[in-house]
Chain A
Amino acid sequence: MAGTDNNSLDGFVGRDYAAGFVTNIEADTLPPGLDEDVVRFISARKDEPEWLTQWRLDAYHGWLEMVEPTWGQVQFPAIDYQSISYYSAPSGDHPKTLDDVDPELLATYEKLGIPLHEQAALAGVAEAQQRPPVAVDAVFDSVSIGTTFKETLREAGVIFCSFAEAVHDHPDLVRKYLGSVVPRGDNFFAALNSAVFSDGSFVYVPENTRCPMELSTYFRINERNTGQFERTLIIAERGAYVSYLEGCTAPMRDENQLHAAVVELIALDDAEIKYSTVQNWYPGDADGRGGIYNFVTKRGACRGDRSKISWTQVETGSAITWKYPSVVLRGDDSVGEFYSVALTNNHQQADTGTKMVHLGKNTRSTIISKGISAGQSSNAYRGLVRMNPGAEKARNYTQCDSLLIGEKCAAHTFPYIESRRPDGIVEHEATTSRVSDDQLFLCRQRGIDPEKAVSMIVNGFCKDVFRELPMEFAVEAGKLLEVSLEGAVG
């Protein structure tokens, strides 16, 4: 708390990371290292068909030929990929239903505020003013430990299950769409993920179906020295609608841990996918020790005419964030949106943004990015808007705002615009502002304490993005910002 410190906006005193506990549970963890055998082990462990094992091996061989990208505005010591364990799962047989899940695991999710019991989730509804319940897939280290509301969803024809289950129960869908948006060789981290991905979520919404509830996946890294490599695949058939949310946390540890996920979205004619992320991986301590390396490839394909894909992300965690949720606008009149709040504090680094690739006629995209830097952190927006020759009358609007808190942080903006259409319209607006001492003094003079004041100012700055989040998550996101900013004022 600032009393009469000279520098009201400077100085940091660490932060309170509530999700930083470790669950004590027996785990089967592969020894560190990566080779063909590891890839085969993971595939065998999941009882995968031969084509998928081969698919992984091809990805692995491709990856061996690739090098880590270096163009990001981030710095970190070289990662030793042989020191990471590529598979860890709670011991014992895989639980058939949630009732078979180890109580210790259930307690973990309860502690994180994620309802895994459908009854409890439903009971919560009455209190929360009749809000529809949210179906949850809980991924713990390398495996999904359970998915709620499967029956309710099945009645509506919606498939929501772990990726491993989908491989067994819906192999044709998986084979048709896996890697169709993010190819195995797309980039270094996507290739790595394609080789060793362990679990994740699978969603299929059939024609003209509106998914009856919000779907969400909650990712938790628990085991030491492991990486999490999950894969999410969401398919919305013609006229389908689904809103999906992912959340992520990890224990506080001094070592860095790697998270390299791939997310693929496919929207056919008139379909809409709304994908929201609240990313709260452990960011490391105030001195920059530990934290998650969040190197993620997310891409959606608007394959159908009049389809729409909307990414909303609130990124407050991770030591390093490197992700660019993108949309390929192939269908005519398709719409891509990207709403982002990225907050970095202490020594966190973020290089995040989006790619909007316009291929179809009358395609439209909107990018709203809000970057907040505090402490000695570095926060970069990197975005590409490309209009190909066929993208007649394509339009893009980009607004890219940076907010600085204190004197030692950095904000960067790297917009790339490639238009091959004379009639394409690309608008780009960018601002950089600072939480000023004047704003802070105004709040304090009115009796508002400095931490509340900064959080209020930052929330105001993010309003355009929070509006896009489902209601309950918008509230969560606001609280999360408040916690992440703790100690951001002297």
Chain B
Amino acid sequence: MLFACLIATYLIYKGRSIIGPFPHETWVNPQTGQTVQGILDIPVTSASTFVLLMSSLSMVLAHNAVVHRRQPKTTTAQRILGSSKLWLFMTALLGVGFLCFQAYEFTAFVHEGLKLSTNLFGSSFFTLTGFHGAHVTAGVLWLLILLAIDMKRGLQPEDAASVDIAALYWHFVDVVWIAIFTLVYLIR
């Protein structure tokens, strides 16, 4: 519901900013004469979307590894697939990668003159994507706690439900981003 309201707010304010920078349209700053192209960087965001999608894949592989912990692993492939530590670490790493992309994007926007208080687009965009980033950060911390438990005593099939709950949260963050990516970045 939180994200539904934030997405709705973004869509309501879309195209209603009086001054730029704008998400897709070119804008000439009347004070400096500087031309700012559409501020959204689709290639960078596409890369961050890919990173988040792959983190969901590594999360399910981590859960799968915990569920099948006691199955014998004879081949290298089975040992790699059965390493919950590896997949939990990969998921956290990809989550951090996504946050780095977001930090880069926010920094670039501020340098181009878009801040939280610049216009309606800035306010709704930073609030929506910022809240999502905060959820990703919470997810990364959760994953690191699970990884620490796994390192200390090893996650067993009995712990599968705990890993599953973390995985459900992580996939929720992913599906919210799927909606944001399309509605904010790809649709003008």
A binds B: no
Q: Which residue numbers of A lie inside 8 Å of B, CB to CB? A: none
Q: Which residue numbers of B lie inside 8 Å of A, CB to CB? A: none
